[in-house]
């Protein structure tokens, strides 16, 4: 498809040429350019890794039109786009043709174009390189113009002299967004695909080894992995199979798949497969060995993660406590009417607007970045399956709540507002505490209880597999072994297995009953294991050995999790103490000191009326910001602990209500203590 579109693009461009002499190009030089592209870092690419994109680059150069680049916006740019937004953006190509062409051609002539070509291939983008660059440039143009327009309005309203700076801000924004949209986003998408491959890889390797041991050929095994739902890994296998069907040698296709992937373990596994094919070794044994290595690497990555978190507590204290306390105290001093003639002490240094931007915008953005950073560097073991409201509806049904998810969310929201209003009449802090706790508990409790059940099933899963394997090794069938497991006390897992047996007794086949079991349990571990069991039953592989290997792998995953919780225990205690005890105590003292400075100025009679009013307004702003910031800071701490310790944000519902309650109690006690200490001084 891409080659046909490129040929259409080529013919389209040729129609715009007025003279044949314009095509005077040294074709040998063109081939040398392409050769240099292909000889890029051999650890990243190969001679045909990005052949489609390199061919496109070669055609752009060989047409001798680096200064005359043209695209039919409607027919070419809109092809292979992923949404209506991209199709709409294609309409803006012609009005900004010269600017877009110059940017795209500059990128194509530099090494950045080759890197983008590689990441587009690795991320499995459907659009061509030229399409991607043109659309990225158009989006960057629109975003930079919109942001510059907003800044212009702000400058005109507040600082008219700064309006000239828009002439410098716009090109900077434009270039930054061109780099982000054209290069950073494809790179991040390619790396995220590598992460998803790492998650699925242990199960896929066992799948491959199981079918190879049953005597099935490698090509059929690859087709089986592609047909099963292994997510991104199945997509990569489909690309490999397509290459093989188009005439590429199996070993070459596997090598290409390894080179375009961002997963280190996947690359190692495929290169071991290629090496074994070349030497004629036992392929199934090699893959099992690689699967063991992947499990060991998971444990090592958890240890590394714990070491990275050692310094994180210090960063959190600086960002969550030191910076906001410094800003609040500086704001209190600057806006206190203690200057000459009763004026503000430091007028204009830390205004209420500046404080609001710091506490309500800058610090929350920093917390979001910190949570995202932890999420990015944490060891990835598994992820949840469904998303959005459909997934939340599953949580409600699991608790036997027969209310639609949207209605439940609306009811909880209004109930939280109602409780917050009741608490507000007692004290604003009580109202805020009731609102936040009711909202988090109402929305998060169904999710937490559901995942608690899933995790309990996963905890019993390795033991159940081991019992099935031992029973089958004693000469029993899988059907009989499954019934034996149902009689054991495996908590909620026993109930789910009994449901599968009930379907067998109703006349369903074993395949259907197992599929029903996988559908009821939203767990990657359970579903991947059931897929392997189904494939083993279908191919006649040694199921007992397979189940024993899976049981060992699953236990290894839980050992990794326990190791993770142990390694991050100190950091968890550090963040809990800092966020729920130290920070609220200091913020309570800051609040009292802020009011104390104003009271001194009022009682001594040195405050001017105008300065006093400004000081009182600033004091109210600081009080409100501190009350709200404690909620933000503790929620960020609960999120970090959830991701760091459990690898799942759903545990916020467990940590946040406890931490916020402790935090507000400490916040109140610190104010009472300091007020008593200062009561006789004013």
Q: What are the pLDDT digits (tens) for 232-274?
A: 888 888 888 988 888 888 888 888 888 888 888 888 888 888 8
**Are residues 28 and 167 located together in one domain of the fold?**
yes
Q: How far is CA 584 from the centre of its chain?
A: 30
Contacts of 551 (CB under 8 A, 6+ apart): 462, 463, 465, 466, 469
pLDDT at residue 23 in the model: 40
CATH number at residue 208: 1.20.81
How deeply is 509 buried, as exposed, middle or buried, from its count of CB atoms within 10 A (0-12, 13-18, 19+)? Answer: exposed
pLDDT recorded at residue 5: 46
- Could you tell me the pLDDT band of residue 179, with boundaries at 50, 70 and 90? very high
Two structure tokens written together for 615 = 């000081």
| CA–centroid distance for 449 within its chain | 23
Looking at the structure, do residues 231 and 85 belong to the same domain, yes or no? no
- List C-alpha distances in Å: 566 to 49, 168, 300, 316: 42, 51, 14, 20
> For 533-578, what is each residue's pLDDT tens digit?
888 888 777 788 878 877 887 777 777 777 777 777 877 888 888 8
Residues 256 and 296 in one domain: yes
Tell which wins on pLDDT, 71 or 625. 625
Instruction: Give the mean pLDDT of 369-381.
Output: 71
Looking at 556-560, 583-587, 636-640, which range is the least confident one? Answer: 556-560
What's the sign of the alpha-carbon dihedral 411, 413, 418, 423? positive
Specify if 367 maps to a domain.
Answer: no
**Structure tokens, 523:** 């767990």
Decide if pLDDT at 594 tops 70. Answer: yes
> What is the distance between the alpha carbons of residues 652 and 657, in angstroms, rounded to a whole number?
8
Question: Do 231 and 150 lie in a common domain?
Answer: no
User: Which of 184-193, 370-379, 438-447, 546-555 shows the highest mean pLDDT?
Assistant: 184-193
Tell whether 19 and 74 lie within a shared domain.
yes
Token pair belonging to 478 = 């899988």
pLDDT score for 335: 72
498 domain-assigned: no
Q: Mean pLDDT for the chain?
A: 77
Both 128 and 243 in a single domain? no
pLDDT band for position 160 (cuts 50, 70, 90): confident
Rounded to an integer, the average pLDDT of 362-384 is: 72
Other CB atoms within a 10 A radius of the CB of residue 182 amount to 27
pLDDT: is 383 or 335 the higher one? 335
Q: What is the 3-state secondary structure (H, E, C) of 492-508?
A: HHHHHHHHHHHHHHCCC
15 and 163 in a single domain? The answer is yes
| Residue 483: φ, ψ to 5° | -70, -35
What pLDDT score does 152 carry?
Answer: 85
- The lowest-confidence range among 184-198, 306-320, 603-617 is 603-617
Of 93-97, 220-224, 299-303, where does the model show the most confidence?
220-224
**Residue at 310 is within a domain:** no
Query: Which residue has 């444990």 as its token pair?
Result: 299
Q: Are residues 131 and 269 in the same domain?
A: no
Instruction: Of 82-91, 162-171, 369-378, 477-486, give the lowest mean pLDDT range.
Output: 82-91
19 and 41 assigned to the same domain: yes
Which pLDDT band holds residue 42 (cuts at 50, 70, 90)? very low
pLDDT of amino acid 7: 55
Mean pLDDT, range 387-405, rounded to an integer: 74
Write the CA distances from 356 to 208, 607, 629, integer angstroms: 57, 25, 10
Residue 229 and residue 527: Cα distance in Å, rounded? 10
Classify residue 539: in a domain, yes or no.
no
pLDDT at 12 over 80: no
Q: Is residue 422 part of a domain?
A: no
Using alpha carbons only, give the angle 51, 53, 56 rounded to the nearest 5 degrees: 105
Please report the pLDDT score of residue 474 as a whole number: 85
Q: What are phi and psi of 679, to 5 degrees?
A: -65, -30
Q: Which two tokens stand for residue 157?
A: 């309203």
From CA 242, how far away is CA 499, in angstroms rounded? Answer: 40
How is 81-99 classified by DSSP, letter by letter? -SSHHHHHHGGGTGGGHHH
Looking at the chain, the whole-number percentage of residues with pLDDT higher than 90 is 2
| Statement to judge: residues 266 and 182 lie in one domain | no
Asked whether residue 272 falls in the same domain as residue 247, the answer is yes
Q: Report the C-alpha gap between 403 and 396 in whole angstroms.
A: 7
Helix (H) or strand (E) holding 206, with range, is helix 185-213
Q: Is the pLDDT of residue 340 over 60?
A: no
The residue behind tokens 């610090």 is 363
130, 155, 188 - which closes a domain: 188
CA distances from 467 to 203, 479, 635 (A): 20, 13, 42
- Residue 488 CB neighbours (<10 A): 14
Question: What is the residue range of 90's domain?
Answer: 2-188
Q: What H or E segment, with its residue span, contains residue 44?
A: none
209 within a domain of the structure (yes/no)? yes
Tell me how far apart the alpha carbons of residues 86 and 135 are, in angstroms, rounded to a whole number: 7
Question: Across residues 15-32, what is the average pLDDT?
Answer: 46
Cβ atoms of 53 and 117 within 8 Å: the answer is yes
* Residues 375/641, Cβ–Cβ less than 8 Å: no
Q: Which residues of 265-288 are buried (b: 16+ CB within 10 A; e: fewer)?
A: bbbbbbebbbebeeeeeebbebbb
pLDDT higher than 60, residue 40: no
Residue 147 has pLDDT above 80, yes or no: yes
Instruction: Enumerate residues 6+ apart whose C-beta is below 8 A from 166.
Output: 148, 151, 152, 155
What does pTM read for this prediction? 0.66
* Number of domains, the chain: 2
- By mean pLDDT, which of 69-83, 158-172, 427-441, 449-463 is the weakest? 69-83
Q: Is the pLDDT of residue 45 over 60?
A: no
Percent of the chain with pLDDT over 70: 78
Which range is least confidently modeled, 37-46, 372-381, 632-641?
37-46
Whether 24 shows a pLDDT value over 60: the answer reads no
Q: Are residues 34 and 110 in the same domain?
A: yes
With a CB cutoff of 8 Å and minimum separation 6, the contacts of 596 are 678, 682
pLDDT of the residue at 78? 58
Closest-CA residue to 648 (of 527, 519, 561): 561
Residue 455, both tokens: 């995790």
Give dist(CA 648, CA 635) in Å, integer: 14
CB 259 within 8 A of CB 38: no
CA-CA-CA-CA torsion sign (60, 63, 69, 73)? negative
**Residue 239 maps to a domain:** yes
* Dihedral angle sign, alpha carbons of residues 277, 281, 285, 288: negative
Q: Is 444 domain-assigned?
A: no
Backbone φ and ψ for 93, nearest 5 degrees, come out as: -70, -50
Average the pLDDT over 641-659 and give the result. Answer: 78
pLDDT for position 20: 40
- Domain termination site, one of 188, 207, 233: 188
Say yes or no to pLDDT of 337 above 80. no
Q: Which of 260, 282, 303 is the last residue of a domain?
A: 303
Q: What is the mean pLDDT of residues 385-402?
A: 69
Dist. CA 461–CA 674, nearest whole Å:
55
């Amino acid at each position: 498809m891409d080659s046909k579109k490129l040929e259409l693009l080529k013919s389209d461009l040729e129609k715009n040429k007025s003279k044949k002499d314009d095509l005077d190009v040294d074709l040998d030089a063109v081939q040398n350019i392409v050769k240099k592209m292909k000889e890029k870092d051999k650890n990243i690419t190969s001679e045909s890794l990005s052949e489609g994109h390199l061919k496109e680059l070669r055609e752009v150069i060989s047409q001798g039109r680096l200064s005359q680049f043209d695209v039919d916006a409607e027919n070419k740019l809109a092809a292979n786009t992923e949404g209506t937004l991209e199709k709409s953006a294609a309409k803006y190509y012609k009005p900004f043709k010269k600017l877009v062409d110059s940017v795209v051609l500059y990128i194509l002539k530099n090494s950045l174009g080759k890197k983008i070509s590689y990441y587009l291939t690795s991320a499995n983008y459907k659009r061509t390189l030229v399409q991607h660059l043109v659309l990225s440039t158009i989006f960057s143009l629109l975003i930079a113009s919109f942001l510059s327009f907003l800044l212009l309005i702000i400058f005109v309203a507040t600082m008219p002299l700064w309006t000239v700076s828009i002439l410098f801000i716009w090109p900077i924004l434009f270039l930054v967004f061109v780099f982000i949209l054209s290069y950073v986003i494809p790179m991040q998408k390619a790396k995220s695909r590598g992460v998803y491959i790492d998650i699925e890889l242990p199960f896929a390797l066992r799948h491959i080894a199981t079918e190879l041991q049953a005597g099935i050929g490698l090509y059929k095994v690859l087709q089986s992995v592609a047909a099963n739902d292994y997510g991104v890994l199945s997509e990569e296998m489909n690309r490999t199979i397509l290459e093989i069907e188009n005439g590429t040698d199996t070993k070459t296709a596997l090598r290409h798949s390894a080179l375009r992937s961002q997963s280190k373990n996947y690359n190692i596994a495929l290169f071991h497969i290629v090496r074994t094919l070349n030497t004629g070794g036992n392929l199934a044994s090699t893959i099992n060995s690689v699967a063991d290595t992947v499990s060991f690497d998971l444990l090592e990555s958890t240890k590394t993660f714990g070491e990275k978190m050692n310094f994180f507590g210090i960063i959190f204290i600086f960002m969550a406590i030191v910076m906001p306390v410094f800003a609040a105290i500086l704001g209190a001093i600057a806006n206190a009417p203690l200057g000459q003639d009763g004026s503000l002490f430091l007028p204009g240094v830390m205004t209420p607007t500046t404080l609001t931007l710091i506490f309500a915008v800058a610090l929350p953005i920093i917390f979001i970045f910190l949570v995202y950073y932890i999420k990015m560097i944490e060891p990835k073991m598994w992820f949840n399956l469904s998303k959005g409201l459909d997934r939340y509806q599953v949580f409600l049904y699991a608790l036997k709540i027969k209310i639609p998810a949207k209605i439940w969310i609306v009811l909880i929201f209004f109930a939280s507002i109602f409780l917050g209003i009741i608490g507000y009449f007692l004290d604003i802090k009580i109202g805020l505490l009731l609102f936040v706790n009711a909202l988090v508990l109402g929305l998060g409790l169904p999710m937490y209880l559901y995942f608690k059940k899933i995790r309990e099933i996963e905890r019993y899963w390795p033991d159940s597999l081991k019992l099935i394997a031992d029973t089958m090794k004693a000469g029993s069938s899988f059907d009989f072994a499954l019934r034996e497991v149902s009689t054991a006390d495996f908590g909620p897992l026993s109930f789910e297995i009994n449901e599968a047996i009930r379907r067998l007794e109703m006349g369903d086949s074993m395949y259907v009953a197992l599929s029903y079991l996988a559908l009821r349990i939203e767990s990657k571990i359970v579903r991947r294991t059931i897929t392997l069991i189904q494939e083993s039953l279908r191919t006649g592989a040694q199921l007992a050995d397979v189940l024993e290997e899976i049981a060992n792998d699953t236990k290894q995953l839980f050992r990794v999790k326990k190791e993770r919780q142990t390694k991050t225990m100190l950091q968890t205690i550090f963040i809990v103490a800092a966020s729920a005890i130290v920070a609220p105590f200091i913020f309570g003292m800051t609040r009292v000191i802020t009011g104390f400075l104003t009271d001194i100025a009022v009682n001594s009679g040195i405050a001017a009326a105008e300065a006093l009013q400004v000081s009182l307004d600033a004091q109210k702003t600081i009080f409100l910001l501190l009350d709200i910031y404690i909620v933000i800071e503790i929620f960020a701490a609960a999120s970090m602990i959830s991701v760091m310790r459990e690898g799942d944000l759903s545990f916020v519902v467990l940590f946040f209500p406890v931490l916020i309650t402790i935090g507000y109690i400490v916040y109140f006690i610190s104010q009472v203590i300091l007020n008593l200490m200062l009561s006789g001084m004013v």
